[in-house]
Amino acid sequence: MNILSFDIEEWYIAKIRGYEASKFVEYDNYLDKILMMLEEEGIKATFFCVGEMGHLYPEVIRKIQSQGHEIGCHSNIHTWLNKMSEEECKEDTRCAVDSLEQCIGVKVKSYRAPAFSIGENNKWTFEVLAENGIERDASIFPAARDFGGFANFGQNVPCVVEYQGVRLKEYPICTTKVLGKMVAYSGGGYFRFFPLFFVSKKIKQSDYSMCYFHIGELIPETLGIKSREEYEAYFKEPGTLKARYIRHLKSNLGKKGAWNKMERLVRLGQFSNLQEADKMIDWGNVPVVKL
Tell me, yes or no, whether 70 and 88 share the same domain.
Answer: yes
Reported residue count of the chain is 291
Alpha carbon separation from 232 to 39, 52, 86, 227 (Å, rounded): 39, 21, 21, 9
The percentage of the chain sitting over the pLDDT mark of 70, rounded to a whole number, equals 88
Tell me, yes or no, whether 227 and 239 share the same domain.
Answer: yes
Tell me, yes or no, whether 143 and 200 share the same domain.
Answer: yes
Nearest to 48 by CA among 111, 142, 139: 111
Within a domain: residue 290? no
DSSP secondary structure string for all residues of 234-250: HHSS---HHHHHHHHHH
pLDDT digits (tens, 9 = 90+) for 186-225: 888 888 888 999 999 999 999 999 999 999 989 876 555 6
Tell me, yes or no, whether 192 and 269 share the same domain.
Answer: yes
249: containing domain: 223-254
Within a domain: residue 71? yes
**Of residues 91 and 222, which shows the higher confidence score?**
91
Are 101 and 75 in contact by the 8 Å Cβ rule? The answer is no
- The tally of domains found in the chain comes to 2
Tell me, yes or no, whether 93 and 17 share the same domain.
Answer: yes
What pLDDT is recorded for position 235? 63
Within a domain: residue 291? no
pLDDT digits (tens, 9 = 90+) for 9-46: 999 999 998 888 888 999 999 999 999 999 999 999 99
Averaged pLDDT, 244-269: 73
Question: Does pLDDT of 184 surpass 70?
Answer: yes
Tell me, yes or no, whether 9 and 92 share the same domain.
Answer: yes
Using the 8-state DSSP alphabet, how is residue 106 labeled? S
Within a domain: residue 268? yes
- Least confident stretch, 31-45, 124-138, 151-165, 230-244: 230-244
One-letter amino acid at 67 equals: Q
CATH of the domain at 36: 3.20.20.370
**Of residues 162 and 245, which shows the higher confidence score?**
162
Are 112 and 80 in contact by the 8 Å Cβ rule? The answer is no
Within a domain: residue 209? yes
Alpha carbon separation from 159 to 53, 129, 168, 173, 208 (Å, rounded): 30, 16, 9, 12, 12
Tell me, yes or no, whether 79 and 7 share the same domain.
Answer: yes
- Its pTM stands at 0.90
DSSP secondary structure string for all residues of 124-169: THHHHHHHTT--EE-----SEETTEE-TT----SSEEEEETTEEEE
What pLDDT is recorded for position 245? 47
Within a domain: residue 53? yes
Cα pseudo-dihedral 275, 91, 231, 10, rounded to 10: 40
Tell me, yes or no, whether 117 and 227 share the same domain.
Answer: no
Within a domain: residue 289? no
Tell me, yes or no, whether 193 and 133 share the same domain.
Answer: yes
Within a domain: residue 288? no
Tell me, yes or no, whether 37 and 68 share the same domain.
Answer: yes
Tell me, yes or no, whether 214 and 243 share the same domain.
Answer: no
Tell me, yes or no, whether 129 and 45 share the same domain.
Answer: yes
Enclosing H/E stretch for 194: none
